[in-house]
Structure 1
Amino acid sequence: MKHSSFNLDVQNQQIEHKIVVALERISAAFRVLLWNESKENSLSPIQIQILIFIHFHSLEKCKVGYLADEFNMTKATISDSVKVLLAKDLVSKISDASDARSYSIVLTPEGEKIAKKASLFTSSIEQPLEKLAEEQKTVMLDGLLKLIYDLNKSGVITIQRMCFTCAYYKSDAGIHYCNLLNKKLAETEIRVDCPDHKVIS
């Protein structure tokens, strides 16, 4: 029989349940920080996330369909958010020359300004992480990457641009290697979001 991680008797006996609850607390911190940033700009949290994503990712990824998969939302929900951003003149559309119905979304100068500032909303979480020893950071990163990878395989998380899901990546006897960079990768060099990620066919 499955037991809830929020059951204190169970939680205090098993480390896995403590980790789940700890991750939930951190998730709550992200929501609070993102909500504060969105209120400051009179936008919704997802609208802020869209601006930040567009700011740091290539044009082909900045389409409604890709954004819907990225944020695990429907195309209709993303389209509604994009309409608001268009109305506020924070983004504009670039039509696809090969498909008149398809378009990419780009930031306007004002959108760029908001996205740049908003992208720093995680600084309150980064500060305590900076105080950890390098070994602690490495162990934490390794555990989180494996957790994300397993959640991706089980369908809980959709799009991932991490090394473990990339066609260029290979692992042999615990050694990480990137065929694109032609080099071994240290644990700390494993990427969570790689601009050169190639989906495994």
Structure 2
Amino acid sequence: MGGPEIDHLIALLAKLPGMGPRSARRAALKMLQQPEARMLPLASALAEAARAVKVCADCGNLDSRDPCSVCIDQHRDRSVLCVVEGVGDLWALERAMVHHGLYHVLGGTLSALSGVGPEDLNVQTLLARIAEGEVREVILALGATVDGATTAHWLTDLLRPTGVAITRVGQGVPIGGALDVLDDGTLAAALRSRRSA
């Protein structure tokens, strides 16, 4: 088509979520038609993000600082901890502006088919945060999938002896739905209607 460099660019773009080979070709073409305006700033931003962004040691969020901007925000309710599967879910809840406490990113859900067990999840940090004594409620904001439900039940059993209130997101999250693709109103309704686990 246009040389190995273009083919390589298209192949890399096609690996991004929501991008197939056709979308990747269109994106590559747009960037290549105006490299100074589109491609070079993108390359610079990618390099800067790769250098600066790190995982928050407290919650698992991605940010240019550690602890992240959410964890250091003194206006947040430190007694409420919202447990999410991934950073995309945290960002979705932040975008909806419905949770004013802190977060904890598990880094996945239990899945026998995918070989994900308890040791693969960020649970020890969660237990340590609860042991500090400031957390009074843990919201399990996991997707309404089989793996999400399995993980929520497992976490409920694990956390019950700590004495913290354990709630789950309620109506609004459809069965099979992932939090990071829901609209803000649905996320707000789901968080407001949480119930005991």
Q: TM-score, normalised by structure 1?
A: 0.30
Q: Which has the higher helix share?
A: 1
Q: TM-score, normalised by structure 2?
A: 0.31
